[in-house]
């Protein structure tokens, strides 16, 4: 059984957006590809975005964007604040030698997400928010469920949408090494090229799953997010969405027991991982025990939150890299 959640779009300031009538007047048959930024195109922590000009873009990011712009109508939708997004777009434009915003259908920020007061289990300070594609289709009439793809490394953010309108690539962090996910000759780009020529997005994704799994009824987290949506208390009005007041839920009592134990298990895995790194380091000759920097110890999560229990770690000493998979 599938649930459909339909809400009116909230008002909010966008970094940049094209007028909706341009999308309707466009005679192109290109599908709409909506890209996330952090975790997909770059690995910056976003906490010092305005001061840090090195955003640690994912390898082959610029070539990947060029391919996407050739095959799709591209837009950006980030759950970050607008003042954190604009410096990234400026840096991308500089690297690509063109004004990227002029080639994007729209750029949306956190204000266009469906906000909640519920905290994620593994990070009490991070609130759950969703990206409802109904907002896009309400403004850009030529796009719908048959020709729209959301690309985000956090599957839960597409919880209000059909699981067949999104692709969830492996997360990229500022500590990730040897990542080739955006390689123009890689599996992900080949998958997108096939999707660009498909008759129907949902039919193609249903037959050709790629990346992380969506949050569905079979997921441990399903009831948690159903409860989050049920607590929104959204009421449709002519111009905006109003919410019932509710106290911040920092202790998430609605989280299933299995979900809580999974987070505890993650902590144990990380402790075991640290012990393995320390053991490998101590058995090397003394002159090779020095690390060039803390970045030589890498914890690379292969799936976005809340799927943190699958992790790998790489230890690089000199020219040798040791990898442990937990």
Q: Specify which residues 211 forms β-bridges with.
A: 168
CA–CA distance, 178 with 202 (Å, rounded to integer) = 32
The predicted structure's pLDDT at residue 237 = 28
CA–CA distance, 111 with 258 (Å, rounded to integer) = 32
Beta strand 114-120 pairing with 123-130: antiparallel
CA–CA distance, 33 with 73 (Å, rounded to integer) = 6
The structural domains of the chain, with segments of one domain joined by +, span 16-242, 257-325
30-34, 119-123, 258-262, 291-295: least confident range:
291-295
Q: Kindly tell me if the per-residue pLDDT of 14 is higher than 50.
A: no
Q: Who's near 310: CB < 8 A, 6+ residues apart?
A: 301, 302, 303, 326
Retrieve residue 156's tokens.
Answer: 């839960």
pLDDT band of residue 192 (cuts 50, 70, 90) is: very high
* pLDDT higher at 181 or 274: 181
Helix (DSSP H) and strand (DSSP E) numbers for the chain = 8, 13
Phi-psi region of 178 (alpha: psi -120 to 50; beta: other; left: phi over 0): left
Mean of pLDDT values over 99-117: 93
Q: Kindly tell me if the per-residue pLDDT of 61 is higher than 80.
A: yes
| pLDDT, tens digit, 9 for 90 and up, residues 213-243 | 999 998 999 999 999 998 886 433 223 333 3
The predicted structure's pLDDT at residue 298 = 44
Half-sphere exposure of 88 (CA within 13 A, CB side): 31
Q: Does domain 16-242 have CATH number 3.40.50.1000?
A: yes
């Amino acid at each position: 059984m599938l649930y459909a959640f339909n809400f009116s779009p909230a008002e909010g300031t966008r970094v940049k957006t094209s007028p909706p009538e341009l999308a309707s007047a466009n005679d192109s048959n290109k599908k709409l590809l909506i890209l996330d930024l952090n975790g997909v195109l770059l690995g910056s922590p976003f906490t010092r975005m305005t001061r840090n000009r090195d955003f640690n873009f994912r390898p082959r990011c610029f070539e990947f964007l060029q391919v996407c712009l050739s095959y799709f109508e591209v837009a950006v939708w980030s759950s970050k604040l607008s003042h954190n997004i604009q410096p990234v777009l400026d840096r991308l434009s500089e690297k690509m030698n063109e004004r990227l915003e002029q080639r994007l259908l729209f750029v949306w920020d956190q204000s266009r997400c469906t906000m909640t007061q519920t905290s994620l289990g593994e990070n009490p300070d991070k609130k759950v928010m969703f990206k409802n594609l109904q907002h896009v289709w309400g403004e850009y009439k030529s796009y719908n469920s048959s020709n729209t793809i959301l690309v985000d490394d956090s599957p839960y953010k597409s919880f209000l949408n059909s699981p067949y309108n999104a692709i969830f690539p492996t997360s990229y962090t500022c500590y990730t090494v040897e990542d080739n996910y955006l390689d123009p000759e890689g599996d992900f780009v080949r998958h997108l090229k096939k999707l660009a020529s498909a008759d129907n997005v949902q039919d193609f994704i249903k037959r050709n799953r790629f990346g992380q799994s969506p949050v569905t009824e079979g997921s441990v987290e399903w009831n948690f997010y159903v409860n989050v949506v049920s607590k929104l208390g959204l009421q449709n009005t002519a111009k905006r969405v109003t919410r019932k007041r509710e106290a911040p839920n920092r202790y998430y009592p609605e989280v299933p027991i299995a979900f809580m134990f999974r987070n505890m298990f993650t902590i144990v895995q990380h402790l075991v991982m640290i012990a393995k790194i320390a053991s490998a380091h101590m058995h090397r000759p003394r002159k090779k025990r020095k690390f060039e920097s803390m970045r030589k110890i890498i914890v690379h999560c292969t799936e976005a939150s809340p799927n943190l229990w699958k992790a790998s770690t790489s230890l690089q000493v000199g020219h040798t890299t040791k990898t442990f998979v937990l």
